[in-house]
Chain A
């Protein structure tokens, strides 16, 4: 009967509790359905009975339709600790259930949230974390350098296929977005510059401005940021999920170096690819300038190109492209290092990927500032 008394659905009757004094024993008549959702009511009802601490308690189940462990636990945990205790008129299932609950009664309340650190602790942790990150980066750079040397000594270790595959995804597949972004920046830059220059009738100088700005600064920075977001994030996510699946450990176990298999192909692909992308960005950006020159400023494409040829120093183009490998190396090292340091849970991959994008963009801009100041001092 007890099992079949469990009604389907949630329409069980509410729990009832009645205290009857029979020859000095406190008999509790349990009735209706005792369910986890009624725990609050049960706790209140039991508290209202105000049982003596040393009472003799008998639980009578003759009116009980149903009882689950949570409800039973709530009832039993509110009964006086020293009471003598017995059950009667319970179905076999309910008796077993109460036995089970009694055997687990020592349970303490557990209310634990994962700890949220305070401000001071956060600052401290961030500091320690940054120091550890810098140390880790340094060690990682050393490791990669050692492996690069090993490859230089034995070129057969170099994974040509993997490198080409990475090159494809880092460079070739990034061309459309690079063209789109740098072209639009060229358009906007030429347009804003043109509005100013037109006032002085100096529209032809727009060519100087666009050429210099795009080739020396805008294209390298923008393309590096795009690649950091696109490929840096991808590197971390790929290597990170391989780490979670223990694939990196499998690589080591097979006697291969994860750095050689995973990091160096990516590093080479991006260091070779980024300067090429910057050159593509130069062309597209200048192309945007040409378009605005022709449409808004009355500079024909022919005279735009002729002027560009005359005023744009080769050094500007070279500096722009030469910065790219440095940016690329930083992006690749940060991305691969963050991927390799992923912990074994799903959330970690996401956190590390975000961190890669933020760190690499910051470093690209810091590097660019260093380049600008250094080159200025060197009068280049």
Chain B
């Protein structure tokens, strides 16, 4: 298994505040990985550093063989076509229709004619489980779950090798959240897609995740399969998993 993402000794400081104090891990191709950690442990910051939106104080990230911190703007642009990012609220372009939102990466980065883009947009919509007439709507007319699906279709438009998800199930109802989980897992299995997500959702972790990486006090405190991480004797991890383990606490 080759490594698609390698994070080495990331240190991040904001002023005197140390958010990451030597974070390292690597992700093999094809895995569905969840990054967990309490609030304020810098999960989203780490995600932004991985895709070059923020710069760590020191350390480096190798994404798909490219050194993110050392890459030139051209190399970064080439890299950006090879990963997809799903923002928390979708970040759909509000002035464009759903179909145009999905077509943006195809129009900007390929020379395909419109006669081929339109069927591809329809196909991507169908791939994420949406009806074709959703394409005619404006993003403001969509529900939260649909926005995430459209954003996923846009992130998948250029056939990325790795997909980053920022809290993909937050704001969805449990049914919609599980459906989204299943969709992500199916896509990962069928496309050999590596998925890296920041999540709080224990149900997601227990159902579709191959590897869990837990951040606490600036360091990786656990890294392994869900079962392995669950057994880790770290107070935060124990508390996290027990938040679910005893749902009937007060009943007899």
What is the interface of chain A, defined by CB distance below 8 A to chain B? 2-4, 6, 8-10, 35-37, 39-40, 43, 68-70, 73-74, 77, 93, 96-97, 99-101, 104-114, 343-347
On whether A70 and B189 interact (CB within 8 A), knowing A8-B64, A40-B112, A112-B98, the answer reads no
Bound-state CA distance A3–B190 (Å) is 11
Separation in Å of the A353 CB from the closest CB of chain B?
A: 16
Asked if B106 is at the interface (CB within 8 A of a chain A CB), the reply is yes
Asked if B186 is at the interface (CB within 8 A of a chain A CB), the reply is yes
> What are 8 of the A-B contact pairs (CB < 8 Å)?
A36-B110, A36-B157, A37-B112, A96-B189, A107-B119, A111-B118, A345-B139, A347-B94
Please report the C-alpha to C-alpha distance between residue A95 and residue B116 in the assembled complex, in whole angstroms. Answer: 23
Binary contact track B1-27/A, C-beta < 8 Å → 1, others 0: 010000000000000000000000000
Stretch at the interface among B38-46, B124-132, B230-238: B124-132
Per the 8 Å Cβ criterion, residues 194-208 of B in contact with A are none
Is the Cβ of A43 less than 8 Å from the Cβ of B127?
Answer: no
Q: Among B78, B116, B132, B157, which residue has its beta carbon within 8 angstroms of that of A40?
A: B116
Whether A36 and B106, one on each chain, are in contact in the complex, defined by CB atoms closer than 8 angstroms, is yes
Min CB–CB distance A288 → chain B (angstroms): 45
List the B side residues contacting A110 at CB < 8 Å: 99, 118, 121-122, 125, 132, 135-136
Inside 8 A of B174's CB, which chain A residues have their CB? none
* Candidates B30, B64, B81, B96; contact of A114 at CB < 8 Å: B96
Q: What 1/0 flags go to B64-85 for Cβ under 8 Å of A?
A: 1100000000000010010000
B159 contacts A by Cβ under 8 Å: yes
Residues in B103-153 with C-beta less than 8 Å from chain A: 106, 109-114, 116-127, 132, 135-136, 138-140
Known: A3-B29, A109-B122. 11 other contacts (CB 8 A): A6-B161, A8-B65, A40-B113, A69-B127, A73-B119, A93-B192, A107-B125, A108-B122, A110-B118, A110-B125, A114-B138
Partner of A37, one of B110, B121, B125, B190: B110
Cβ 8 A contact of A107, one of B110, B122, B136, B138: B122
A37 vs B82: C-alpha distance when bound (angstroms) = 12
Least Cβ–Cβ distance between A68 and chain B, in angstroms: 4
Check A112/B99 contact, CB under 8 A, given A6-B161, A8-B65: yes
Chain B residues positioned under 8 Å from A111 (CB to CB): 99, 114, 117-118, 121, 135
Q: In the complex the two chains form, what is the Cα distance from A73 to B138 in whole Å?
A: 26
> Is there contact, CB below 8 Å, between A36 and B158?
yes
